[in-house]
Structure 1
Amino acid sequence: METETLALAQEIDFSMWALFARATLTVKLVMLLLLVASFWGWATIINKHRQYARARRETRVFEEAFWSGEPLDSLYDDTGPAPTGRTERVFVAGMTEWRRSHRQDGGAIGGASMRIDRSMDVAIQKEAEDLQRGLPLLATIGSTAPFVGLFGTVIGIMNAFVEIGQQQSTNLAVVAPGIAEALLATGLGLFAAIPAVIFYNKLSSDSDRIIASYESFADEFATILSRQLDAA
């Protein structure tokens, strides 16, 4: 009897596609949801890596030009009113307010330093929002995907017990397919969650460093403008 049961179990197809095809509608929906979440998470990860690499490259190029000794007015004119780089946009925000803070006779309007700081802070906040967009999605996938997979596993195991009751048998050929299908849902949940958690932590750290570089640049730039205001 044992030999016959093992022979029947060996004939069952345990490939992922076969397990998915044999699963009930609820478990199939759970698996599809987890696959979509995994694809969406990886798309976000790849997009953020490219975005952060471009942001670091733009910052490096602009800061080289900024500290090259070129007059700020010339750099502002070369950059234009609608720059594409993120650090450039912070610079333009501060420089635009700097120019607006001077009267026609060349004197500075009171409170110029505070307005310049505020303008650059607003620009940095906008860049921070854009850099961090999509990260909450990774956090959500990382925290919920295992539980969604566990839900599919619970449903799958319930169906396996129903099958046992209908077959009036607990041999391996009856139990194994249902348990395997149930565990596949948990596996897919972990497959979606683990990369999401790892890259959420990494990308959050990268984002914080990039934003900190903008804040550092804004502080240095504000110091330069404040010195010029005091000299004027």
Structure 2
Amino acid sequence: MNVEKIADWVDYGFIGLLGLLSLIGLWLILERYFYYRHLDLRSFREKEELEIALGENMTMIASIGANAPFIGLLGTVVGIMVTFVTIGQSGLVETKEIMVGLALALKTTAGGILVAIPVIWFYNLLGRKAEILVAKWEIMKRRGEI
């Protein structure tokens, strides 16, 4: 396989995967947000069934946020390897060529971090909202409203 094709695969493959993960994360975050917003606490008789309903899709959101930096890092490692192979094959020892290759390789790590930060932030926000909903349910249960 040609080194340039591998470099393109790193660019499009890893950045594309991170883009797909960000879209999936956004979809799941919006689904949870609107579900929490329109949730009728009175429809739950047991606390456990409420907790199960509130926890749906949260594991996937957390997994995306936790793994996006590692996918980006893997892209960087492969990009650096491609840079070293290119240097080795061409015999170039120009600083400019090395730095350009390494800088391009680092963009996947930046992409992974860029995906992870908002996903984890929203995961924490949704987790706190779920805790508040459970607390409200418990108050309603004690008052006899459920």
Q: Does TM, scored on the shorter chain, surpass 0.5?
A: yes
Q: Which has the larger radius of gyration?
A: 1
Taking the aligned partners of 1:26 and 1:168, their CA distance within structure 2 comes to 22
Give the CA RMSD over aligned residues: 2.3
* Superposition TM-score, scaled by structure 1 size: 0.55
Determine if the alignment matches structure 1 residue 129 to structure 2 residue 47. no
Letter aligned with residue 50 of structure 2: E
Consecutive unaligned residues in structure 2, runs of 5 or more: none
1:148 alignment counterpart: 71
Aligned partner of 1:158 among 76, 81, 85: 81
* Count of equivalent residues: 142
| Cα drift, residue 199 of structure 1 | 0.9
Taking the aligned partners of 2:103 and 2:115, their CA distance within structure 1 comes to 18
Taking every aligned residue pair, what percent have the same amino acid on both sides? 30
Secondary structure at the counterpart of residue 38 of structure 2 = helix
2:22 alignment counterpart: 38
Determine if the alignment matches structure 1 residue 179 to structure 2 residue 96. no
| Cα drift, residue 22 of structure 1 | 8.0
Determine if the alignment matches structure 1 residue 48 to structure 2 residue 48. no
Determine if the alignment matches structure 1 residue 139 to structure 2 residue 139. no
Letter aligned with residue 137 of structure 1: M
| Cα drift, residue 163 of structure 1 | 0.9
Consecutive unaligned residues in structure 1, runs of 5 or more: 1-20, 56-85, 91-119, 225-232
Taking the aligned partners of 1:134 and 1:27, their CA distance within structure 2 comes to 29
Contact 1:160 1:178 in 2 (8 A): yes
Contact 1:23 1:181 in 2 (8 A): no
Letter aligned with residue 164 of structure 1: I
Aligned positions of 1:185-224 closer than 5 A: 185-221=108-144
Contact 2:6 2:82 in 1 (8 A): no
Aligned partner of 1:88 among 23, 42, 48: 42
Letter aligned with residue 171 of structure 1: E
